[in-house]
Amino acid sequence: MKNSILFLFLLFLSFTAFSQTKVSILGDSYSTFTGHISPQTNEPWYPRSADENDVTEVEQTWWRLLIDNHKDELVLEKNNSYSGATISCHGYNNADYSHRSYITRSLDLGNPDMILIFGATNDSWAGAPMGEYKFSDWTKSDIFFFRPAMAMLLSQMKTLYPRQDIYFILNSELKDEINESICTICRNYSVPVITLKDIDKQAGHPSQQGMKSIAEQVWSAIKKVQPKYIALSFDDGPNTVTTPKVLDVLEENGVTASFFVNGKYLDNEENIAVMQRAVALGCDIQNHSYSHYQMGDFEDEALINEEIDKTSALIEKYAGKKPEFFRPPYINHSELMHKLIDLTFICGRSFNDWDPGFDADARINAILTTVIDGDILLLHDMQGNDATVEALKVVIPELKKRGFVFVTVPQLFKEVRGSMPETHSGIIYSNIFD
């Protein structure tokens, strides 16, 4: 009997540990406390004398309150916070803060499930130069400017922690240009911003009351993150080998997608039946030309029209609805095509899943580290493309866990964006916010 009770107790403990979310903190003085930050060479700000700031016990800090108040769900993995730290490498009195910058310390956060970045306060107070928005090809000098440094930080975080939930906590009473820049850059990397309000402070730092308010606002935000919408889309089908496998994964995960089909494959009942199964699952069928030629090289208007019209007619006949979108084969398009074709042109975010040398793990990593709100994911259900099928088994549940909602391309425009783009605009879309 005792052994049975012990076994059940240990089972309960293991289940609790497994179900807890491991949280790491990347912060500045607001998140420090002597003896409770790592590495221990980081400089703390808390505790101070009681007459300077009334936060005198680690249990009164916002991050300990957050963890302790929700200990059935959260556990602290690591707190890498450093007093005076800046996101850029520009510190007070124009000092080089590279050693304590967020970019440097982001490498050392353990193995968390969730990361809370609480920063930019010192960048605002120290008057860090803003610089221009820059989302790639950063130089050493760029990271002494706030905007490129912030972008580099989030890009690095998304690469280092591709499957973790990352949030940015934005302090109250910062400069408007800091606030606006953070929101713009976080949106580019699909990082939710938790904007704090009415934080009580003593000596410029949260008091006990302020710490409680931060913990409450952070918890409220991470429990109610707004959904992010994306659309899966597949080219070069239908077929009876790979397309059914893709549909199986979609059905098992309860999601839909858009299929950009080639008309030449709608020449037999078996392929048509596969396409009709997609429609029955709530997927939509769009136009990817009849023959999959390099249509951007065409100069013959009649040939362009034939490639589109034949495929649209077959889709309407067998799927029951005219297509509204067109993806040019090889994304090769021309002014003439935009002039002639009465469909919205779609590209999508590509993950090289047509390349047999790009295996399932590479595809998983590419998707999870780059996808953002409003994206159209460009994938292929061409015959034999099993690596994409395997990748879907991982990325769909993982992206759902991160708060992404899967919709079709038409839904992405009509219901999320709120409008269909005009045709003949010359624009080709990869994200509805383009």
The residues assigned a catalytic role are 235, 380
**What is the dihedral sign for C-alpha 117, 146, 90, 201?**
negative
Backbone angles phi, psi at 378, to 5 degrees: -95, 110
Cα–Cα distance measured from residue 89 to residue 294, given in angstroms and rounded to the nearest whole number: 48
- Count CB-CB contacts under 10 A for residue 9: 10
Query: What's the rounded Cα separation, in Å, for the pair 160 and 370?
Result: 12
Distance CA 117, CA 36 (A): 17
304-319 per-residue burial string, b: 16 or more CB within 10 A, e: under 16: beebbebbbebbeebb
Do 194 and 184 form a contact (C-beta atoms < 8 A)? no
Q: Do the Cβ atoms of 211 and 55 come closer than 8 Å? A: yes
Per the structure block, which two tokens stand in for 81? Answer: 């916070």
What is the β-pairing status of strands 428-429 and 349-350?
unpaired
Please give the structure tokens belonging to residue 48.
Answer: 């101070």
Give Cα separations from 426 to 68, 254, 286, 287 (angstroms): 55, 35, 19, 17
Please tell me the distance from the alpha carbon of residue 213 to that of residue 94, in angstroms, as a whole number: 33
Q: In 3D, which of 270, 227, 264, 137 has the Cα closest to residue 412? A: 227
Q: Are 100 and 11 in contact (CB under 8 A)?
A: no
